[in-house]
A and B are shown apart, each in its own frame.
Chain A
Amino acid sequence: MTGEQFVFLAVSGLTIVAGILVVTLRNLFHAALAMMLSFLGVAGIYIMLGAGFLAAAQLLIYIGAISILIIFAIMLTRRMMQAQDTPFNSQAGAGLVTAVLSFILLVFVITRLWRNEIFDSPPEVPTAIMNQIVVQLGSDFVSPGAYVIPFIVASMLLLAALIGAVYVAWPQVEDEA
């Protein structure tokens, strides 16, 4: 086993173990902390794949923003967090069977389709191309030949989500009366 494979196994093991903790921990606040750890492992996987910019974006957006938002929501609904009864609903057993069966199906498909010798190791990309990717990405987002329409749709989606979140969470005093 080479050092690269060892690092991969360590990083993905962190991701998977933290992910299992997210769905099994009884205390929701601890589950949110495990979720941050799992996002950190995913950022490590991005770095192993040579996507350092995406790893930085993962740290900023997922760990810095989404996790903090979820922790805020947990604290605002705090009484629910320490419920004494089970954190799982009545269909937990069926859900476990479904998850395991879909994982077996996915592994079957992956080992049949993507175990080709051309995918045994990542291709050697010249450093000039790798250094150019972020610049190319920036110009692709605003060029009509590439992603300008998805880019505009994504920005409208973010604006609508911002306004919608404020509207939905606004206190509606007339309903309380």
Chain B
Amino acid sequence: MIPLSWYLIVAALLFCIGGYGVFARRNAVAILMGVELMLNAVNINLVAFWRYSVLLNPNPNMPFFTITSGWAWAIFVLTVAAAEAAVGLALIISVYRRRDSVIAEELDLLKN
């Protein structure tokens, strides 16, 4: 007997923690870790809404609202997270090789 709002509040808390990591950390890898926490929170929301609405209003005219819709979008979010981590870490390693630093405040090449 777990209400839907419990899952939503846990996901909101995880999202805000990840957002704080993105705002406050100096290291670029730590910022990326905060983004991963935020994506996980979004996935919790998708799966929770799927679980509580899987039998509600099955409308065959809406192809994006099937009994698998929550899973499918969660898997797409997973795919985007994997691609984002790969490209982001490649960028960080490239920047580290050129500037010898991964502190986000010191990457001011475009300033002025």
Interface residues of A (CB under 8 A from B): 2, 4-5, 8, 12, 15-16, 19-20, 22-23, 28, 31-32, 35, 38-39, 42, 45-46, 48-51, 53-54, 57-58, 61-62, 65-66, 69-70, 72-74, 76-77, 80-81, 83, 86-92, 94-96, 98-100, 102-103, 106-107, 110-111, 114-115, 119-123, 125, 129, 133, 136-137, 140-141, 145-147, 150, 154, 157-158, 160-162, 164-166, 168-169, 171, 175
Contact = CB atoms under 8 A, between A and B. Distances in A.
Given A22-B21, A165-B86, A171-B97, 12 more contacts: A22-B33, A35-B36, A42-B44, A54-B47, A62-B78, A69-B89, A72-B89, A107-B9, A120-B1, A121-B2, A168-B87, A169-B94
Given A88-B26, A114-B8, A99 B86 contact: no
Interface in B44-101: 44, 47-48, 50-52, 54-56, 63-64, 66-68, 70-72, 74-76, 78-87, 89-94, 96-98, 101
Contacts, number: 257
Interface size class on chain B is 35 or more
- Decide if the interface of chain A is mainly helix, strand, loop or mixed: helix
A83 to B, nearest CB: 8
A91 B71 contact: no
A149 B1 CA distance: 37
B52 A140 contact: no
B89 A73 contact: yes
- Decide if the interface of chain B is mainly helix, strand, loop or mixed: helix
Nearest to A124: B55
Nearest 9 CB-CB pairings of A with B: A95-B23, A23-B21, A161-B83, A119-B4, A165-B90, A92-B24, A99-B20, A106-B12, A169-B90
